[in-house]
A and B are shown apart, each in its own frame.
Chain A
Amino acid sequence: GDSVTQMEGPVTLSEEAFLTINCTYTATGYPSLFWYVQYPGEGLQLLLKATKADDKGSNKGFEATYRKETTSFHLEKGSVQVSDSAVYFCALTRSNFGNEKLTFGTGTRLTIIP
């Protein structure tokens, strides 16, 4: 079945450091890929998405590129801030036709220290 494998956490970085959180997936067909973020005390929020190979999703300085050849969707940010401290989830849906369940990775807890 479909699955998502994420970089083990927790990850602790200093402010302004470069961030990479690795994500690889296993799925048949042409999945859509997502990064969700969960800030302390809040619900899951969509951070960015990509629906086809070579698409780049971006939001709030974060980026991720859909790489079909390596089945990856790594999350990157050039300069992290304390406010980026949260849990990040990589996820996929089986298609981009809508109404599909999300299959999530286990999450990576990120802590940014000033």
Chain B
Amino acid sequence: EAGVAQSPRYKIIEKRQSVAFWCNPISGHATLYWYQQILGQGPKLLIQFQNNGVVDDSQLPKDRFSAERLKGVDSTLKIQPAKLEDSAVYLCASSQGGTISYEQYFGPGTRLTVT
């Protein structure tokens, strides 16, 4: 079974530029999560999708961050414009959902450096 795929793995941009991250979840997983992991901290949920609907985006800085999950499969997270404090690892995770198996499987992450 293929795992969660993310790209790019690394990205360096200047502040005020835009950046986009892509995630392909495990096939058949209905729930998709984006987490932000700042150096020295644990991951923090930014947004959660169930199929292509948003379940929780309460921690997403909506003035600069946006995310979409078209057709309930792949997802894109965008930052526009980026700030220095956005430097972090962005993790995508997916789960089957429901009570059968809700274990979250994580991708390798995208390390963003904003200079």
Q: Which of B1-52 contact A (CB under 8 A)?
A: 3-4, 31, 33, 35, 40-45, 48, 50
Q: Are B31 and A99 within 8 A (Cβ)?
A: yes
For the complex, what is the distance from the CA of A101 to the CA of B57, rounded to whole Å?
Answer: 11
Q: What residue in chain B is nearest A4 (Cβ atoms)?
A: B42
Interface size, A (range)? 20 to 34
Interface size, B (range)? 20 to 34
Q: Are B45 and A102 within 8 A (Cβ)?
A: yes
Q: Are A44 and B99 within 8 A (Cβ)?
A: no
A61 in the interface, Cβ–Cβ < 8 Å? no
Known: A43-B107, A43-B108, A43-B109. A102 touches B43 (CB 8 A): yes
- Chain A residues near B103 (CB, 8 Å)? 46, 49
A/B pair count, beta carbons within 8 Å: 57
**Stretch with Cβ within 8 A of B (4 or more), from A52-60, A67-75, A78-86, A103-111:** A103-111
Q: Are A101 and B48 within 8 A (Cβ)?
A: yes
Known: A43-B109, A44-B91, A44-B106. A107 touches B56 (CB 8 A): no
A26 in the interface, Cβ–Cβ < 8 Å? no
Q: Are A43 and B106 within 8 A (Cβ)?
A: yes
Q: Can you report 11 residue pairs joining A to B where beta carbons are below 8 Å apart?
A: A43-B4, A43-B106, A93-B102, A99-B31, A99-B97, A99-B98, A101-B56, A102-B35, A104-B42, A105-B42, A107-B42
Q: What is the interface of chain B, defined by CB distance below 8 A to chain A? A: 3-4, 31, 33, 35, 40-45, 48, 50, 55-56, 91, 93, 95, 97-100, 102-104, 106-109
Q: Which 5 A-B pairs have the closest CB atoms?
A: A104-B42, A98-B102, A44-B106, A101-B45, A43-B106
